[in-house]
Amino acid sequence: MMNKDYLIMNTNQANDSATLLKRWLENRNDGKSFVDYFHEYGCSSIIIFDAGEIGRLLYEEVKDSDIKVLCFYDRNAEGIREIDGIPVYTFAMVGEMTKTDMVVVSTCFNYSEVVRMLVGIDTKIRSVYMRDAVYEF
């Protein structure tokens, strides 16, 4: 029998992902993209936290623009290593993070944990949760 807490967490994660993807598609249909969002905030380089499906979709959206993706961080990086020549690092390596204009957290699962990790490294690291960002552009 499944743990009730697990089911609740998965339901919330699925809802968060669906909300993010729905709004993202609405923005794309209106001719808006994350490239515009990053330009608005003066970003020319980003780091993507989570090399899963949503993180890779973000990469696909910005890869042919002037926004440079410096790297990805993923809890399962050992099995990925790189995406299109861009390195994928484990969360354990976050202390060695390259300076960037913005860290984009694409994972809906552990956003608060990632933010705590980033603040522990440097309180000036600028980060955004993709689910929130899609409502800003």
User: Distances from the Cα of 10 to the Cαs of 5, 17, 29, 100, in angstroms?
Assistant: 9, 10, 28, 31
Asked whether the beta carbons of 108 and 10 are under 8 A apart, the reply is: no
Question: How do residues 43-78 score in pLDDT, each as one tens digit?
Answer: 999 999 999 999 999 999 999 999 999 999 988 888
Which domains occur in the chain, in start order? 4-133 (3.40.50.720)
| 88, pLDDT greater than 90 | yes
> What does pTM read for this prediction?
0.84
Find the helix or strand (DSSP H, E) in which 10 lies. Answer: helix 4-29
